[in-house]
Amino acid sequence: MKPSLPYPALLLAGGVLLSSVLCVQRSDWLVLAAPASLALCVLVGAALDSRLRGGWVRPSPAALILAASFLLAGLMVAQDREQLRQLMPILGASAAVVITRHPRRKACLPLP
């Protein structure tokens, strides 16, 4: 098993900071870009994690579902900037589960 590198987690942390900064801006399109930037960082971080583990460069199905739910949650609360500002770090913390998942265990041998 290869050692785990922190690059996907650092990318996700940068995405959380970027989305938190974007959601306090005065421009409406920048506020709407906050959940999109976080979703993009989740997808890129999951694809990078997959590549570092020796697989294909693609996000997992869980990361795709999570990114779509981030977009929907962000659009639901986009009218209230204070709620969106409080939501971004919480969504980022939940994305850490997808990025830092452990590889699947190998199947056990059948008992004699």
Please write the tens of the pLDDT for every residue from 42-90.
999 888 888 887 888 888 888 899 999 999 998 898 888 888 888 888 8
pLDDT of res. 107: 55
pLDDT greater than 60 at residue 3: no
What is the residue extent of each domain of the chain? 7-99
Please write the tens of the pLDDT for every residue from 17-51.
998 888 888 888 888 898 999 999 999 988 888 88
Q: How far apart are CA 43 and CA 38, in angstroms?
A: 9
Note the pTM of the prediction, 2 decimals: 0.80
pLDDT of res. 71: 92
Write out the H or E segment, with its range, that includes residue 87: helix 81-99
pLDDT greater than 80 at residue 102: no
